[in-house]
């Protein structure tokens, strides 16, 4: 197989895996806050975290450039301190995937957490368990199924991310060309043979992954 095809596959999996890792961490945290707590700005947090789900990826990408670009709000500071910019790096692809996949994780996890019987949580508290203990021993195990589903959806979304990624990570062969970007690039330059291979591989990988995820979540519930 063409080494550039192999590179794109590996990069796609790497980017999606890292993005999903952070999505799970941050997503569960935010979902817990939204499901269990009442605080000022809750609605705002909910909306901001859900926006990437409904916004076109190009709009998300635009915001990311405004925030993290070399002349962006945060990107400018980072560049001034370190001389490094996230733009056109594979980390930018992780960032884009993270942002677009996060809402999926939050929404599914939040729904799962909300179905956890409040009585059980109260019982745990009255038996002297702290909130953190209760979270790990009561809430998480009971919301397991929703969390798996959220993680699978997030991974799939992160693998397929294209629009925001091409805006912040660009199309750099051998550096930032994830599968979707490499396929787009091949189709644009008439390299149909390579595009065929990658499209087929991507479909197979995605199908295998869904199959695995299905079995996994069924077996564990």
Partner 1 sequence: MIKKTNKLRTWSILLAALLYSNPLNAEELLISAAMSLKNIFEEIAPLYEQQVPDVTLRYNFGSSGTLEKQIEAGAPADVFASASQRFMDMLEERDDILASSRRDFAQNCMVLVVPADNPAKLAAFSNLKNKSCRNVAIGNPGSVPAGRYAAEVLQHMSLYKSIQKKLVYGEHVRQVLDYVARGEVDAGIVYGTDARIRSKEIRVISDAPPESHTRIYYPAAVVSSSRFKKKAAHFVKFICENSQVQKRLQAHGFNLIQTVP
Q: Which residues bind partner 1 (CB under 8 A)?
A: 65, 69-71, 85, 87-88, 166, 170-173, 175, 185, 187-191
For residue 39, the SS3 value is coil
CB of 174 to partner 1, least distance (A): 8
CB of 172 to partner 1, least distance (A): 5
What backbone torsions phi and psi does residue 97 show, to the nearest 5 degrees? -60, -40
Nearest of 208, 206, 207, 184 to residue 195 by alpha carbon: 184
Closer of 121 and 166 to partner 1 (Cβ): 166
- Cβ–Cβ under 8 Å, residues 206 and 159: yes
Token couple for 59: 């709009």
Closer of 50 and 185 to partner 1 (Cβ): 185
Q: Is the dihedral of CA 54, 66, 171, 178 positive or negative?
A: negative
List of residues 6+ apart from 7 with CB closer than 8 A:
174, 177
Between CA 98 and CA 106 the distance in angstroms is: 12
CB of 194 to partner 1, least distance (A): 11
Closer of 61 and 103 to partner 1 (Cβ): 61
Closer of 141 and 188 to partner 1 (Cβ): 188
Closer of 69 and 180 to partner 1 (Cβ): 69
CB of 9 to partner 1, least distance (A): 20
Residue identified by tokens 């929703």 is: 146
CB of 196 to partner 1, least distance (A): 15
Residues in the chain: 221
For residue 69, the SS3 value is coil
CB of 173 to partner 1, least distance (A): 7
- Cβ–Cβ under 8 Å, residues 135 and 163: no
Closer of 24 and 166 to partner 1 (Cβ): 166
């Amino acid at each position: 197989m063409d080494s550039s095809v192999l590179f794109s596959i590996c990069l796609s999996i790497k980017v999606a895996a890292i993005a999903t890792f952070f999505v799970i961490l941050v997503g569960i945290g935010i979902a817990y806050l939204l499901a269990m707590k009442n605080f000022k700005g809750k609605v705002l947090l909910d909306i901001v975290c859900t926006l990437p789900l409904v916004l076109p990826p190009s709009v998300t990408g635009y915001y990311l450039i405004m925030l993290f670009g070399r002349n962006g709000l945060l990107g400018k500071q980072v560049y001034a301190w370190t001389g490094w910019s996230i733009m056109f790096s594979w980390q930018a692809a992780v960032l884009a995937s993270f942002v677009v996949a996060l809402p999926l994780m939050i929404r599914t996890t939040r729904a799962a957490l909300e179905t956890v019987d409040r009585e059980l949580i109260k019982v745990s508290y009255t038996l002297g368990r702290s909130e953190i203990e209760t979270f790990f021993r009561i809430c998480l195990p009971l919301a397991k199924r929703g969390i798996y589903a959220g993680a699978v959806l997030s991974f799939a979304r992160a693998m397929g991310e294209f629009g925001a990624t091409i805006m912040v990570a660009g199309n750099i062969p051998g550096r930032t060309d994830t599968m979707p970007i490499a396929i787009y690039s091949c189709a644009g330059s008439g390299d149909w043979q390579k595009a065929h291979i990658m499209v087929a591989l991507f479909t197979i990988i995605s199908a295998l992954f869904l199959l695995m995820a299905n079995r996994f979540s069924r077996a564990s519930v």
